[in-house]
Chain A
Amino acid sequence: MSTHGEWEAVIGLEVHCQLLTKSKIFSGAATAYGAEPNTQADAVTLGFPGVLPVLNGDALRMAIKFGLAIDATITQRSVFNRKHYFYPDLPKGYQITQYELPIVAGGKLDIELPDGSTKTIGITRAHMEEDAGKSLHENFVGVTGIDLNRAGTPLIEIVSEPEIRSAAEAVAYLKKLHQLVVYLGVSDGNMQEGSFRCDANVSVRRRGTEKFGTRTETKNVNSFRYVEKAIEYEIERQIGVIEAGGVIVQETRLFNPDTGETRSMRSKENANDYRYFPDPDLLPVVVTTDDIEKIRATMPELPEAKRNRFMQQYGLPKYDASVLTAEAALADYYETVVSTSAGDPKICANWVIGDLLGLLNKQSLEIGASPVSAAALAGLVARIADKTISGKIAKEVFEAMFAGEGSADDIIKAKGLVQITDESAIAAAIDEIIAKNPGQLAEYRGGKDKLFGFFVGQAMKATQGKANPEALNRLLKEKLAG
């Protein structure tokens, strides 16, 4: 992490998070990503004359769910406003959003910093609003295409307090927030598809001063890495300007991922007067305490609680528990493996974190797309536990399972991998090896202990790795001792 000498950065983030509803926030049009342009634009989406908005109850419930997860106050009478500006991808000439009375107010999020310490970031508010459409510049010459499929997709805009002090903290905050919304099932969090977008407000001040410097807002930085780069660039740029005797201009800037730089988009003087006023087509959104409690009852276990439970219930180290609870789907996978296999939780964790995630990452697969189901992996772990196969053979079986060759039992059977536990058979194999290697035997007995490994290798080779390792070790030691 870079430091900035006598300067301190002050950062606040605004995250636009698309809610995972089937239909739009104010109409029945579908919200699926990637459809042919304008095929998900009904009369309401297109802003036809005479159409009216009707709030999607699912969007409201998801926003409340998010609010409860960050310990916020749910506004029991929130209001939708109109925010006016002209742009071709904004069909009505105004965006329906919440302004003075957002649905979620005053929450917080605990983030973990790279040094292991925790910091609480305040969340000022989260409000519901509709997304705009998209202007398409590619594949057009001299004109701009408009795709209104995205217009009207429900968003929550999550605004943090200016309590973030570095690019690294910003990334930690975003990752935590991202994990949370995906956990809650209120967003798919897909950053490539724009489901989770970030604007960064950055200013700098001399350490020890109270007053904030003039801030800039960098728009639409759509990956964790870009957020880090954009903020880092902006901090350095602002310090440079001030140290050179200049002043920071309040403005909106755009990040260019190719150069890693931000550039001015529009200054405050050119900012729109949005002419906010309460949308007369929508009544205030009234939420009762009973409504809130009903939603609270549907809250899933949140990441931190789950991690702590994994440490307690399964005796896992913090690292394992953190990895396994990073995603709800992975945590569910792990718990299915443990309960179905009746295996040792730590061994199960090793399989999931080491072998499974290793292969998934190599092939860039999500846990949901794993070729080995939790039940299948449990089947494998059970064969280790009941000593049908050794842990070493199990790796081979797992790779075959991942390649789609069948269940653990099928593969063990097909490849004849059942472990040899018959001690007389193992003893016979050992006898043969000792007989074949008189020189090594003499050296071993002469004190060269390292040769034990050589004999283990030879014996495993002779049994095609199927000998029960514990029995092999014990018998080999006895026989080598003479």
Chain B
Amino acid sequence: MHKLSIKQLSEGLRAKQFSSRELTQFYLERISRYEPSLNSLITTTAERALAQADAADAAIAAGNAGPLTGVPLIQKDIFCTRGVRTSCASKMLDRFISPYDATIVEKLDAAGMPMLGKANMDEFAMGSSNETSWYGAVKNPWDLERVPGGSSGGSVAAVAAGLAPVATATDTGGSIRQPAALTNLTGIKPTYGRVSRYGMIAFASSLDQAGVVARSAEDAAVVLQAMSGFDPRDSTSVDRPVDDYVAALDRPIKGLRIGLPKEYFADGLAPSSRQRIEQAIEVFKTLGATFTEVSLPNSPLSVPTYYVVAPAEASSNLSRFDGVRYGHRSESARTLEEIYKRSRGEGFGAEVQRRIMIGTYVLSHGYYDAYYLQAQKVRRLIFDDFKRAFESCDLLLGPTATDVAFKLGTNVDDPVAMYLNDIYTIAANLAGIPAMSLSCGFVDGLPVGMQLMGNFFDEARMLNAAHQYQQATDFHRQLPKGFE
């Protein structure tokens, strides 16, 4: 059953081949069986899921079912869920029960999707390996000694292992795409402003965007459709109709103009990964796509720019975690200053503290112009690079990650090496454009991902290309051994 697509699950539910309760129960059983080896969930919400499943079954019986009614999902633990612990994988919020639902939680609840649980992640989404979680590292189902990528490591591990058909995720510098690439999934980060950020715990507000990880572009399209849209509670969400992503999937892609950014194929990309991507290019050519080389000259500046902007916003966003109103409060604190210092010192992990310090530094008096303001100017240049590229191309194609999944513990003592994991993904966040990752093969049994980047609000075209590629290939249908 866990091999079925969302469309097939939905059809099975409507045909009464199985009920949503049975389906939910099935996934909950898989969670209890496989979760001990993966650590992909922080909280399992069986009761909530089964109650939602019963409601979905009632809706199906009454003929009120939508395309997602009764299909379970996992929410990344960065989204606030009313009455359920929302930890952001931090000790700081270990006991935080959100009093309200994030907009996308409301939307996916309303779509009738039972929530199986809350996915593990890097603490406050800061990490590329899911090793910074207060709840421990997540393992990659393709090799339990390897990382699943981050920050949405729990979301991808769960979906790759078949613990849920789909999961929500978030992407600030690659946190959807890089983990999707490392686990053979399809992950999409839509245009900044396409999906509401209300109720998504902020890391870097101008870069954060929610999206989906799924086993195919088709599955991703139908869930993204339900999540997207203007939200009056988020001033940065864009009031513009959502395209029909599902309807666009089957369009032929003959004549699609795909650009290959030359900077993305330079040194640093593992030759074996490059080879898989070159093979994917050939597949696209047989589907009628044309390729040209383009240049994104400012892309080498992406990582340094990101590591000014993101920590700056993070240091500000995380100020609210002060031990006063909610969250961890140090038991040894006796004075107000001690409440702040000790609660934050105890509640935040090392990577979060590192970024708060970097962010505080770059925003401080006398350094603001040299760092934050300068970074914003470079950001503009990166944006202009894409603008120019999209004058002659419909999509851009390149690698998602430099290599396949690395072993747990490889980069934990070298933050800069860890940061360079996001070298191909960060630019899309800085520019605000949509981007996705999908599998294009394997190296030594480990998945390799390729990245598609689109123009603003061009998710439909991107998903269409990905779907057409997946119709011609079967990499995305492979499942990790031991989780069949």
Contact = CB atoms under 8 A, between A and B. Distances in A.
Contacts of A46: 325-326
Contacts of A94: 316, 319
Interface string B355-383: 00000100111001000100000000000
B321 to A, nearest CB: 8
A55 B236 CA distance: 12
Given A50-B199, A52-B234, A93-B319, A88 B98 contact: no
A43 interface: yes
Contact of B364 (A49, A92, A273, A280): A273
Contacts, number: 98
B197 A52 contact: yes
B43 interface: no
Interface in A381-396: none
B319 A54 contact: no
Contact of A54 (B79, B233, B365): B233
Contacts of A53: 235
B197 A43 contact: no
B172 to A, nearest CB: 12
A247 interface: no
Interface in A38-78: 43, 46-55
B86 interface: yes
A52 B93 contact: no
B320 interface: yes
A283 B324 contact: no
A275 B312 CA distance: 10
A49 B201 contact: yes
Nearest to A26: B235
B26 interface: no
Contacts of B364: 273, 275
B324 to A, nearest CB: 5
A30 B244 CA distance: 39
Nearest to A282: B235
Contacts of A49: 80, 86, 88, 93, 96, 98, 201-202, 320-321
B340 interface: yes
A280 B324 CA distance: 24
Given A92-B320, A273-B364, A281-B236, A50 B201 contact: yes
A86 B340 CA distance: 8
Contacts of A91: 320, 324-325
A54 B93 CA distance: 25
A50 B202 contact: yes
A292 interface: no
B232 interface: yes
A146 interface: yes
Nearest to B93: A49
A43 B79 CA distance: 15
A84 B317 CA distance: 10
A93 B322 contact: yes
A146 B323 CA distance: 13
Size class of the A contact interface (CB-based, 8 Å)? 20 to 34
Contacts of B197: 50, 52
A82 B316 CA distance: 8
Given A92-B320, A280-B205, A281-B236, A51 B88 contact: no
A104 B57 CA distance: 57
A277 interface: yes
Greatest chain B CB density within 10 A among A47, A55, A277, A282 is at: A277
Interface string A243-274: 00000000000000000000000000000010
A80 to B, nearest CB: 10
B198 A51 contact: yes
Contacts of A146: 324-325
Greatest chain B CB density within 10 A among A43, A82, A275 is at: A275
Contact of B372 (A47, A54, A277, A283): A277
Given A49-B88, A49-B93, A93 B233 contact: no
A53 B382 CA distance: 28
A55 B235 CA distance: 8
B99 interface: yes
B205 to A, nearest CB: 4
B313 interface: yes
A283 B236 contact: yes
Contacts of B360: 275
A86 B79 CA distance: 25
Interface string A439-476: 00000000000000000000000000000000000000
Given A50-B80, A50-B200, A52-B197, A88 B236 contact: no
A49 B327 CA distance: 10
Interface in B119-168: none
Contact of B235 (A50, A54, A84, A92): A54
A305 B299 CA distance: 60
Nearest to B208: A280
B15 interface: no
Nearest to B79: A50
Given A86-B340, A273-B364, A52 B235 contact: yes
Interface string B200-213: 11101110000000
B336 interface: yes
A281 B320 contact: no
A280 B320 contact: no
B368 A277 contact: yes
A86 B319 contact: yes
Interface in B427-453: none
Nearest to B327: A49
Given A49-B93, A52-B234, A281-B235, A43 B365 contact: no
Nearest to B92: A49
Contacts of A52: 197-198, 233-236
A258 B261 CA distance: 72
Nearest to B361: A275
A45 to B, nearest CB: 10
A49 B208 CA distance: 14
B99 to A, nearest CB: 6
A3 B459 CA distance: 72
A281 B320 CA distance: 15
Contacts of A86: 319, 322, 340
Interface in B186-201: 197-201
A37 to B, nearest CB: 13
Contacts of A50: 79-80, 86, 98, 102, 197-202
13 contacts: A48-B99, A50-B102, A52-B197, A52-B235, A54-B235, A88-B336, A91-B325, A93-B319, A94-B319, A275-B364, A280-B236, A281-B202, A282-B236
Given A84-B363, A277-B372, A283-B235, 18 more contacts: A48-B99, A49-B86, A49-B320, A49-B321, A50-B197, A50-B202, A51-B199, A52-B235, A84-B316, A84-B319, A86-B340, A88-B322, A88-B324, A94-B319, A275-B364, A280-B205, A280-B206, A281-B205
| Shortest Cβ-Cβ A-B pairs, 4 listed | A93-B319, A280-B205, A280-B206, A275-B363
